[in-house]
Amino acid sequence: MARPAARDEGRHQPGPERLWNESYYFDWFQPDGSLGGYVRVGFLPAQQVVWYWACLVGPDRSLVTVVEHDVPLPASASSLELRGPGLWADHVIDEPLDRLTLSLESFGLVVDDPADMYRSPRGEIVPFGFELEWTTDRAAYLWPPVTPRYEIPCMVSGEVLLGGERIAIDGFGQRDHSWGAARDWWSMSWCWSAGRFDDGSRWHTAGGFFPDNSWGVGYELPAVGDAFEEFDSVVISERLGREGLVERATIEVGPHRLDVEPIAWSPVLLVSEDGRESRFPRALCRVQDAAGRSGLGWIEFNQPPV
């Protein structure tokens, strides 16, 4: 099986499309599911902006979120350091495909009801930052050649700062990197997930792209070894709640069935240049499979306008 190239950890030469996108995601969660978060760094070179999202979530705490869609591009075409009003973030590739460090100094919005992110969210503004390290859990996974993309299951450690609170992190997560295509959030739905079972095995799925086709991308990395078991069939079923937030979901990936319960949401509203709105709910989730294994991870749904 082909593996990602170390050189692809950095930024890539952009195409001319208005929606050409290069995207880095970083998810994490504590082993008991009490806390989690994610970061997305989305480069839109044709629009001269970066979309930056970061959050802190937990089943028993309010959402803390940073959503900025007009962060200036870095001064250098190879840099991953971002600076904007009230925001500094850096993403340092310490050892390509093995170790990466994220830093953030910003102000986060505390939101009691995550669905308010689809309207005009209001809440307390608090200092929010972190220093977190993603260390690869055994192997990195290169997607099939439908789009340039790789996924890396990780261990995550470091510290989150929230107001006067200092939180030690020692958990698990996932990071991914994709580039080379126009990402039209307003025309295609999808469901992505990744996480870790309690026995140490890891999973990833991406599907729901086409209403009449089960094609997707998925893997399981067993608890021992570094060989991914790959799947090309992903079927998603979901039960929608208020504001389109998913109450329960089932993911059938190859021979496996995953039952997913979102437990803490961090949604984002995406408004196109012509005014169309797509909802992008992302959640920390609990997962159980048909064999009785339980685990934690993250799940996302892109919900374009009907």
Bridge partners, 178 (sequence order): 23, 149
> What was the pLDDT predicted at 85?
94
**CA distance linking residue 277 with residue 304, whole number of Å:** 7
pLDDT at 15 over 90: yes
> What was the pLDDT predicted at 296?
98
Query: What is the average per-residue pLDDT within 240-256?
Result: 96
Band the pLDDT of 294: cuts 50, 70, 90: very high
Tell me: the pLDDT tens digits for 156-180? 999 999 999 999 999 999 999 999 9
Q: Which pTM value belongs to this model?
A: 0.97
pLDDT at 306 over 90: no
Band the pLDDT of 242: cuts 50, 70, 90: very high
> What was the pLDDT predicted at 235?
97
pLDDT at 1 over 80: no
> What was the pLDDT predicted at 21?
97
Band the pLDDT of 14: cuts 50, 70, 90: very high
What distance, in Å, lies between the first and last C-alpha atoms of the chain?
A: 38
Q: What percentage of the chain reaches a pLDDT higher than 70?
A: 100
Q: What percentage of the chain reaches a pLDDT higher than 90?
A: 97
pLDDT at 126 over 90: yes
> What was the pLDDT predicted at 153?
98
Beta strands 61-72 and 99-111 are antiparallel
> What was the pLDDT predicted at 289?
96
Query: What is the average per-residue pLDDT within 113-139?
Result: 97
Tell me: the pLDDT tens digits for 95-104? 999 999 999 9
Band the pLDDT of 29: cuts 50, 70, 90: very high
> What was the pLDDT predicted at 281?
98
> What was the pLDDT predicted at 252?
98
pLDDT at 2 over 90: no
What would the two tokens of residue 261 be? 């319960």
> What was the pLDDT predicted at 45?
97
pLDDT at 217 over 80: yes
